[in-house]
């Protein structure tokens, strides 16, 4: 029916009626699925489930970036796609949504989606889960420098150095795509950028044409009941296997010898082969590859700790709250938003040197009362990141953007 995306529907879990009507309110949701799926796909599923929990019917429009053909026209449509504009206007007019929620535009949807929503005067929430609005690489350090070229001049330096896809042309297209997004929402009062952390908001907002429309709303989990606190001796790392995630150095420097805990790595990505070669030579490291979200949660539940070794300004770190939601403390790199997100729910990992990894492990495994650490992790999660708190903030945000 639509050439630009597939459509799925979910009914609300509760059935409040829209103002003056007899049908539930409707959210039209969009997400371009990454070539290497990760946390953003789970975030999209969670946001849909959350909207359904507060009474919205959701219409989920998705497309797979892996299906995009390469060539000059693909570069043009990554900046602005006439086909997406037509299809988005059609489905908006057909569904008549109360709200549009955009999870990821790049590259399949482009700014065309926002132009369609604005043309139809539909209030729109746009998630900010990386730094693509600022830099072509989408990856920054906490000081605002690009992880690829080390510059804060994202146009001349990032494009010249080919920070996206190791290509100057692709980096230019990415930069122009972000510029088109910023222009398409200029002066639009019924639009909000929704960042997952204060750090993400700070690094992105300074690169917008009109600031002041970025709100902070963290990720969340659906665990609402205190878990059973188990005593185990294994550690798990759940991550996309890319350089900025730090998993390669974590595996390379994982402590060996008697008394060293085992590490299981769950995930896939460009560094899979290299990490596989290193882990195969280590007695206490296992690379398990891609794992379903349901199995990830159970493995987190059965682990003594999870580790998030990110070496960039991690915008949030979804696995950290998933870990704390089942009472598993987090060993977290001090880059990005992780220190604020985890706080008393874990312990810091200052570097990826073996000595630093060992010190962090000792703080977990050498604690007098390991169950107290697990209780602290869950308590921190329940105070800040439950779905009930997220539902309240979502209602408030929708009311704000619709007013």
32 and 181 Cβ atoms separated by less than 8 Å:
no
Tokens 């990760």 label which residue?
Answer: 38
**Comparing C-alpha atoms, which of 148, 18, 40 is closest to residue 96?**
18
The enclosing H or E element of 362 equals helix 354-365
Q: 234-384 architecture in CATH?
A: 3-Layer(aba) Sandwich (3.40)
Q: 305 - beta bridge partners?
A: 235
Q: Give the model's pLDDT for residue 19.
A: 46
3-state secondary structure (DSSP) of residue 95: helix
Tokens 């804060």 label which residue?
Answer: 152
- Which phi and psi (to 5°) does residue 268 adopt? -145, 170
Question: Which pTM does this prediction carry?
Answer: 0.91
Reading the block at residue 174, the tokens are 């990415």
pLDDT in tens, the chain (403 residues): 788 999 999 999 876 554 445 789 999 999 999 887 778 999 999 999 999 999 999 999 999 998 887 778 888 999 999 999 999 999 999 999 999 999 999 999 999 999 999 999 999 999 999 999 999 999 999 899 999 999 999 888 999 999 998 999 999 999 999 999 999 999 999 999 999 999 999 999 888 877 778 999 999 999 877 787 777 889 999 999 999 999 999 999 999 998 899 999 999 999 999 999 999 999 999 999 999 999 999 999 999 999 999 999 999 989 999 999 999 999 999 988 999 999 999 999 999 999 999 999 999 999 988 999 999 999 999 999 999 999 999 999 999 999 8
Name the fold adopted by 6-221+387-402: Rossmann fold (3.40.50)
CA-to-CA distance for 388 and 121, rounded, in angstroms? 29
Q: Give the model's pLDDT for residue 126.
A: 98
Say how many C-beta atoms besides its own lie within 10 A of residue 315's C-beta. Answer: 28
Query: Which positions ≥6 away from 314 have C-beta within 8 Å?
Result: 308, 333, 335, 336, 337, 338
Distances (CA, A) of 191 to 72, 114, 117, 143, 214: 31, 9, 10, 27, 9
Say how many C-beta atoms besides its own lie within 10 A of residue 33's C-beta. Answer: 19
Domains 6-221+387-402 and 234-384 share a fold: yes
**Comparing C-alpha atoms, which of 238, 290, 282 is closest to residue 261?**
282
Helices (H), 131-193: 156-160, 168-184
255 and 358 Cβ atoms separated by less than 8 Å:
yes
Domain coordinates in residue numbering, the chain: 6-221+387-402, 234-384
């Amino acid at each position: 029916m639509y050439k630009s995306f597939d459509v799925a529907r979910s009914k609300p879990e509760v059935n409040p009626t829209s103002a003056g009507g007899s049908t539930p309110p409707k959210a039209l949701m969009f997400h371009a699925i990454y070539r290497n799926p990760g946390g953003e796909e789970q975030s999209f599923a969670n946001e849909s489930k959350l909207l359904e929990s507060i009474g919205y019917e959701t219409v989920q429009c998705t497309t797979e970036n892996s299906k995009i053909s390469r060539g000059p026209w693909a570069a043009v449509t990554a900046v602005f796609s006439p086909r997406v504009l037509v299809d988005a206007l059609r489905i908006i007019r057909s569904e008549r949504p109360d709200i549009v929620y955009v999870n990821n535009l790049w590259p399949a949807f482009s700014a065309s989606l926002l132009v369609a929503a604005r043309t139809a005067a539909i209030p729109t929430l746009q998630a900010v889960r990386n730094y693509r609005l600022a830099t072509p690489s989408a990856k920054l350090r906490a000081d605002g420098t690009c992880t690829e070229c080390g510059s804060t001049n994202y146009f001349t330096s990032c494009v010249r150095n080919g920070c996206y896809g190791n290509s100057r042309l692709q980096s230019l297209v990415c930069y122009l795509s972000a510029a088109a997004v910023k222009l398409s929402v200029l002066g639009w009062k019924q639009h909000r950028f929704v960042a997952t952390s204060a750090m993400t908001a700070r690094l992105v907002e300074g690169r917008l044409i009109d600031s002041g429309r970025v709100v902070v709303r963290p990720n969340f989990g659906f665990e609402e009941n205190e878990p059973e606190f188990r005593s185990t001796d294994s550690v798990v790392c759940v991550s996309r296997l890319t350089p900025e995630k730090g998993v390669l150095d974590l595996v390379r420097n994982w402590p060996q010898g008697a008394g060293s805990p085992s590490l299981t790595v769950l995930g896939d990505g460009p560094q899979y082969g290299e990490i596989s070669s290193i882990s195969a030579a280590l007695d206490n490291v296992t690379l398990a590859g891609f794992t379903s979200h349901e199995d990830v949660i159970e493995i987190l539940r059965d682990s003594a700790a999870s580790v998030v070794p990110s070496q960039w300004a991690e915008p949030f770190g979804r696995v950290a709250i998933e870990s704390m939601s089942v009472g598993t403390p987090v060993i977290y790199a001090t880059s990005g938003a992780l220190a604020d997100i985890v706080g008393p729910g874990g312990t810091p990992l200052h570097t990826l040197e073996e000595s630093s990894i060992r010190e962090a492990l000792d703080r977990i495994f050498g604690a007098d009362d390991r169950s107290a650490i697990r209780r602290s992790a869950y308590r921190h999660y329940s105070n800040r990141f439950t779905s009930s708190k997220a539902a309240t903030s979502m209602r408030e945000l929708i009311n704000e953007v619709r007013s």
